[in-house]
Chain A
Amino acid sequence: MTSFLHVLSPGMFTTIQDLGRFGHQDLGVPVAGALDPISLRLANALVENPEDTGALEIRIMAPGLRVEADAVRVALCGTDAEIEISGTQPRSIPSGQSVRLRRGEIVQISAIRDTSCCYLAVEGGFDLPAPFASQSTYVRGGFGGYQGRALQQGDDLPVASGAVPARTESRLFETPALESDAAIRVVLGPQDNYFTDAGLRTFLDGEFTITQDADRMGLKLDGPALEHSIGFNIASDGIATGSIQVPGTGKPIILLADHQTTGGYPKIATVISTDLPRLGRMRPGRKLRFEAVSVADAEQARRDLEAIVQRAIDTIGPADGTREPDIDKLMTTNLISGVFYVSE
């Protein structure tokens, strides 16, 4: 018998996302994938999935799900909100802990106030096609995930493991906190020469606000206009996740996971990959500043972040056990700006 999660309410914009669809941008196929890949990896680790397994990406308002399978295991990461289970045995499970759910139980998530996205991973993942080798939903192209779109009421999401055995649940004892008021770090270019010195200064000194025009494709920013020098049309070239393009209005747009593969506006800078999860979690109204770093510093930050994520995954242990965080070790090894640990 096929096993499902039945969608009672779809949430604001719930999609299935994995770590992205790489290797096809030369055919115009965008990467897509999780806005906060760190939280996705942690959620997958808690249910013992490969880190790039597709999970539900929840945007601000969570979906309501009913379990139409004998037993599934899920874990929530990327928020302080909790999993609220109703049915014969009502209970709440904190973020960062796995839980086994029985047929008929209803899953909801308490109000999400701390992020624009978080992840609910399901042990074994979803039994869905993977166009271009990825389950990430690309809504504009209408493929990936569940029927190429955000969830709707009444959807039945087929899960790959519908009868998971009971075992001691897992808990993440140390969470890498991605919240910070530090400046968003960027590498300037490739078209910083399309801006006047004043325009570049405005970019690095100014304060910007994320507008309501914010989705998986990009964040339109409000703030001081950036002055172009030699026009605002280039012969279209490639775009990286985090590219900051500046159209004729002078207002920057940060391109995120669902970005188009190429574009014809000059790109003043690119957000370093280490700061993308933090950016992906930001909500409209949030204020931010930019700080330029070298390519070498950007690459080092990414390696440091990887070490932090790996260490967090290493703290996963039995949920009924206790584990004392090694504060000294944490203090000496993760002193990079923008990312730090919080202990329980």
Chain B
Amino acid sequence: MSVQFGDRIERSLNERVIQIKKAVDAAGLEGVVETVPSYRALMVHYDPRRTSQATLIDEIGPFLDQPASAAAAGTHWRIPTCYDPEFAPDLDYVASCTDMTPERVVEIHTTTPHYVYMIGFAPGQPHMGDLPEELAIPRRKDPRPVVEKGSIVTATGLSIIYPVTNASGWHIIGRSPVSVFDVDKNPPVLLIAGDTVDFYSVSRREYDDIQQMIDEGRFDPEQLKARP
């Protein structure tokens, strides 16, 4: 069952989705298997042996009548990102599309606060926004078969950090050494819906240093949390 809140990507709609998800999860409704929030819809997976859509509409309906509450602030993260050409094969293309210098694209990307709308498609994969209109460009016509883990990609004003190497039709503008998904970690997922993210630019050398600390188990993700 899908509870839909319009058809646009908009932070207020998404905060409503997350609010209703929390309410449904807390209610512990019989037969609800799990709830999956996305930009503007909440998918409620249920077991028809234990409940029905009609029952769930009666049970979930009242939650929708409650006024939107101020969203509880998510965790605020600072994610190191290397925008060197080696890691950003599409940065020049994005710059030329938007009539900016590559430096200006990086400046906008690192000064725009990003909101995590949803985690989805692949384990731990955050979908974040919104870049200003001037940086919102369409996806590639021809998806790339291989985009490396950690790549920061953008299209339509949104940004994604790739949790694993995968295909992508988005534009690669940087790479972070930080893993947003690691099945052996607890918790395995770094970012969750409702969090906020600032990207900050690091040199290739700083990238390698952080990567080495991660590889040697000396990197504590806690230090990625922004200090209030």
In the bound complex, do residue A260 and residue B49 qualify as a contact, i.e. CB atoms below 8 Å apart? no
Q: Is A143 an interface residue (CB 8 A)?
A: yes
In the bound complex, do residue B38 and residue A299 qualify as a contact, i.e. CB atoms below 8 Å apart? no
Chain B residues positioned under 8 Å from A29 (CB to CB): 123-124
In the bound complex, do residue A237 and residue B2 qualify as a contact, i.e. CB atoms below 8 Å apart? yes
Among B2, B123, B181, the one with the most A-chain Cβ atoms within 10 Å of its Cβ is B123
In the bound complex, do residue A26 and residue B123 qualify as a contact, i.e. CB atoms below 8 Å apart? no
Query: How far, in whole Å, are A298 and B96 apart by their CA atoms in the complex?
Result: 52
Q: Is A238 an interface residue (CB 8 A)?
A: yes
Chain B contact residues (Cβ within 8 angstroms of A): what range?
35 or more
Q: Is A86 an interface residue (CB 8 A)?
A: no
The tally of residues in A whose CB lies under 8 Å from a CB in B reads 36
Query: How far, in whole Å, are A35 and B163 apart by their CA atoms in the complex?
Result: 26
Report the nearest A residue to B4, measured CB to CB: A190
Chain A residues positioned under 8 Å from B133 (CB to CB): none
Query: How far, in whole Å, are A76 and B80 apart by their CA atoms in the complex?
Result: 51
Query: How far, in whole Å, are A26 and B33 apart by their CA atoms in the complex?
Result: 12
Q: Is A285 an interface residue (CB 8 A)?
A: no
Contact with B along A268-299 (1 / 0, CB 8 A): 00000100000000000000000000011011
In the bound complex, do residue B34 and residue A299 qualify as a contact, i.e. CB atoms below 8 Å apart? no
Report the nearest B residue to A236, measured CB to CB: B38
Q: Which of A28, A238, A261, A306 contacts B189 (CB 8 A)?
A: A28
Q: Is A113 an interface residue (CB 8 A)?
A: no
In the bound complex, do residue A262 and residue B38 qualify as a contact, i.e. CB atoms below 8 Å apart? yes
A contact set with B: CB distance below 8 Å: 22-30, 131-132, 140-143, 189-190, 234-240, 260-263, 273, 295-296, 298-299, 302-303, 306
19 A-B interface contacts by CB (under 8 A): A22-B34, A22-B45, A23-B33, A25-B36, A26-B37, A27-B188, A28-B120, A28-B122, A28-B163, A28-B181, A29-B123, A132-B188, A190-B2, A235-B40, A261-B121, A262-B121, A263-B121, A299-B48, A303-B48
